[in-house]
Chains A and B, each alone.
Chain A
């Protein structure tokens, strides 16, 4: 079974693509518990990333995924959804 996982590196790319936010992936990893505000990402920006991921993997993320406060929290939600294939 192939396990897909979205990494902090990929999240950094998505933040740039969907919300125009430039963030160093290392910094994103290191400060994964910091709120998205800290990186300059608002909830509309995160909603765009949710849409990108849903389209890419052809699945639905849980409601209110765009309200995750931190990169860590968001990646946990995304990756546990990918694992269960919800």
Chain B
């Protein structure tokens, strides 16, 4: 029996379409400088709703980035995903024109709600004009799976595809799914999440969540870990990554930006924040185990930062439970307070921030948060220069999912 080298999943490409930057470099500039872009919602038809503040991706020119035949059959969430995927592929040297075996590339995305804006438009035609006026693309555009399918079709990829619908933490689960596919033999996976929850129907759906912030002042609306925590602010946009076999990346001569070292997920029930403490702690331990990492190896934690007092307390305690005394010393950050929480895309954007933080040797700050009421070393005001080799990304969903991901800087190996 031959000994097979364990394949490792490397991040070689990053594409970001976020409220605070529509390219990876623009995103990092905003994140590292702690620039806040939360603002009053300006999308049409939303002005009368009690949800006032969000992270909008403004001046996103879908028509300039995506062909008409894909635009007419897709929702805004897929527009973000297709645009981010193209940026990631370019970054990995796999952009259009590069020769690739289509069967060697698969796609997996996570989605929290699908194409709400497209769906609303067609349902309005159904009830306003009749079933004959509903366009056929309604049958595909609002599905959770739409972005995975359209990214594959647009680039002609024929490798294994998947959709992860496991709540917001599904953003991290999708990365684990991609890493698993790479370990099982697929060369390359396009993976991540993008969401478009800022349209009338989608916003009304979110109004039922007690965790959503309805505070009208953008600077005060999302302040996790403080005594003024009043919920989270939603955002749109997302990030797609190219994840591939590390050896193959080296053969291709492209830089390995980071490796996906460990992941674990648990479930503790919708809005049961106190119980998420144990769920999140167990996810952290599981991710560390898979990564072969000790608590002291974690150089930075990207927090879930729900912004609900009980949830924030549970997260701070989970970090302490899983990392021990190191949990009080390790720098913790939540850059998403500057641009909002893009549901499934939130932990993917955090993973991107973690990779960039390791590349730049800086822990980015947590905008709008100045005084915390938990025993955490939360990085505030400005970025902190630190040598970073290993990052821990945490995520929880409103429906009760918890997940943790350990990411290592490119070139670092397990102890």
Contacts and interface: CB of A to CB of B under 8 A. Distances in A.
Interface of A: 16, 18-22, 40, 44-45, 47-48, 51, 54-55
A2 B139 CA distance: 37
B320 interface: no
Interface of B: 67-73, 132-137, 139-140
Tell me the dominant secondary structure on chain A's binding face.
helix
Given A44-B73, A48-B137, 6 more contacts: A16-B68, A18-B135, A20-B69, A20-B72, A20-B73, A45-B69
A44 B136 contact: yes
A15 to B, nearest CB: 9
B135 A22 contact: no
A15 B14 CA distance: 35
A44 B69 contact: no
Contacts of B139: 44
| Of listed A20, A45, A48, A51, residue having the most chain B CB within 10 A | A20
A19 B69 contact: yes
B135 A51 contact: yes
Nearest to A47: B136
A16 B67 CA distance: 12
A40 B70 CA distance: 11
B132 A48 contact: no
A51 B132 contact: yes
The 6 closest A-B pairs by CB, nearest first: A20-B68, A20-B72, A20-B69, A47-B136, A44-B136, A48-B136
A45 B252 CA distance: 39
A37 to B, nearest CB: 13
A19 B132 contact: no
Contacts of A16: 68
Contacts of A55: 132-133
A43 to B, nearest CB: 9
Contacts of B69: 19-21, 40, 45
A86 B316 CA distance: 70
Nearest to B67: A20
B135 A48 contact: yes
B155 to A, nearest CB: 15
Nearest to B131: A51
Contacts of B136: 44-45, 47-48, 51
Contacts of B137: 44, 48
Contacts of A51: 132-136
A51 B132 CA distance: 6
B72 A19 contact: yes
A45 B132 CA distance: 15
Nearest to A15: B69
A16 B134 CA distance: 17
Contacts of B73: 19-20, 44-45
Nearest to B135: A48
Contacts of A40: 69
A68 B71 CA distance: 24
B72 A18 contact: yes
A18 B71 CA distance: 11
B63 to A, nearest CB: 10
Nearest to A21: B69
A45 B71 CA distance: 13
Contacts of A54: 132
A21 B73 CA distance: 11
A18 B68 CA distance: 10
Max chain A CB contacts within 10 Å: which of B69, B137, B139?
Answer: B69
Contacts of B70: 20
17 contacts: A19-B72, A20-B70, A20-B71, A20-B72, A20-B73, A22-B68, A44-B136, A44-B137, A45-B69, A45-B136, A48-B136, A48-B137, A51-B133, A51-B135, A54-B132, A55-B132, A55-B133
